[in-house]
Structure 1
């Protein structure tokens, strides 16, 4: 009998990697809840953007805090427009968002998390990927979630940091290099642009090109980890659409991802 995904994870050192996705922390919360219900106890978490936020709460032992917070979250809670003349440019200052993180995360730094945590941001100043595994937690998560145009870049370590999903859709390699794992299970929330017809506008084509590059990047990381002897399983779910102007489906979004992940855990899989 072919083993299920849950069988492949049982009794092994499991790392969990959560992808970037616009407001994807709802779906990621459902994903991690399903893993927990199946008895999976990760030895490490990694995430980019919304994945970094969810990974931080999970690693801090506060997934239930996040699950309780999401249905109550409203746009006004994090909507703090910056002045048009403010540099660096961004619609939102991010101070209210940082306040939410500071109020609800039970630990102040990576070292105090119950489980090792890896987050990724994009260092716009140096043009490189920035990996965080130590130090203050809120600034790292804020930087990883700082989607260009929506949020101002976050000044850190002598540079400006922005959304980790720009350079690392699913931080698989960063996780495997920071934590000893036998297998990584990744939650992929696919970029919407890849499922749409080819755009006809220059900006649309640019967005499509970026989505293709990021998609290709995480797939190469899967190959790299497998070549190093690390088993990798990618669970892809289609999230309920959530935006700053459409936030009433929080409970449905979490439940939908949790149900889809539960089904994936019960499905037969190869060796990864």
Structure 2
């Protein structure tokens, strides 16, 4: 029966490379979900899987270096986001440009959030790349995506792990892939081993320097990669704050629409911007899925 097995792929920035590992494990076991719903990076992985382009996504992910990550970030200042997102979309389009969602073999939904209303939008028709881009448009980082006259941003604001979308599309058994299991503690002890020096000299920030002296590549490196003073850049601050919010929303949504099976890759120590560490995340995804393959194979064959 069509639509009996669904998979909900959650958001999580670079941690989303673990989705590739999970999907590879399912594919190797002959398990192909009838319904695929993804949020943010989950929409990218799920869309590539639905289009039969998971191998291409894996090759791209494994090829990324620190320098390569920066090259794919096209600065958009001034604008509605730090990053245009055109370079990343162009890479996706190289393999996915012809694909329309309604022509895919599996039912597919990319979850987005409408700017202004906060409505949860399920993109299940039209160009696949456009739906992906709308789903991962993190406010302040990526420019919002205009879809049918409405501005869309990251779907994790409303449905970080879209189990409900799978159920609505007819799935009777839903697998959820959670990229944040154990990654965010409810309470953290902060040791006070050193005192803050109130006499630290003030340092001119990039925003205070003349715009003509701002080198785009240097700016992006400061914002996305480790800084010498260990101070977080604005991009990291936005992402971490969003990550905390996403985790709390996910807990609430999953309590109302629990999946039949939750796969939680062990990604401790893997940062949200560690796109250059795909080998690690993909391996963890495969490891997390492997114990459940026999049960899933039996269900898929029922």
- After TM superposition, the score normalised by the length of structure 1 is 0.80
What is the aligned counterpart of 2:288 among 244, 260, 271? Answer: 260
Alpha-carbon distance in 2 for matches of 1:205, 1:150 = 12
SS at 1:24 equivalent = helix
* 3-state SS of 1:161 partner: strand
Cα RMSD of the aligned pairs, angstroms, is 2.8
**Distance change in 2, residues 1:127/1:199 (3 Å):** farther
Residues 159 and 205 from structure 1, CA distance in 2 versus in 1: closer, same or farther, beyond 3 angstroms? closer
Structure 1 window deviating more from structure 2 (162-171 vs 98-107): it is 98-107
Which residue of 117, 140, 149 corresponds with 2:140?
149
2:166 maps to which of 153, 175, 183: 175
Deviation, 1:166, is: 0.9
Which secondary structure does the structure 1 equivalent of 2:138 belong to?
coil
Which secondary structure state, in structure 2, belongs to the residue aligned with residue 189 of structure 1?
coil
What TM-score does the superposition give when structure 2 sets the normalisation length?
Answer: 0.72
The equivalent of 2:248 in structure 1 is 212
CA contact (8 A) 2:47 2:108 kept: yes
Instruction: State the shift of 1:146 in Å.
Output: 0.9
2:114 matched to 1:78?
no
CA distance in structure 2 between the partners assigned to 1:205 and 1:29 by the alignment: 25
Q: Highest CA radius of gyration, 1 or 2?
A: 2
Residues 8, 38 of structure 2: 8 Å contact kept:
yes
Contact between 2:109 and 2:124, CA under 8 Å: does it hold in 1?
yes
For the 8 Å contact 1:198–1:205, the answer to whether it is kept is no
For 1:238, the equivalent position in structure 2 comes to: 266
Gaps of 5+ in 1: 1-10, 223-230
Q: State how 1:121-136 maps to structure 2 within 5 Å.
A: 121-136=112-127
Aligned residues: 244
Q: Deviations over 1:145-169 (max 9, x none)?
A: 1112211111223222111111101
Report the 3-state secondary structure (helix = DSSP H, G, I; strand = E; otherwise coil) of the residue aligned with 1:174.
helix
Distance 1:48 1:210, change over 3 A: closer
The structural deviation recorded for 1:192 is 7.1
Gap runs ≥5 in structure 2: 191-237
* Superposed displacement of residue 182, structure 1: 2.4
Q: Which residue of 187, 191, 194 corresponds with 2:184?
A: 194
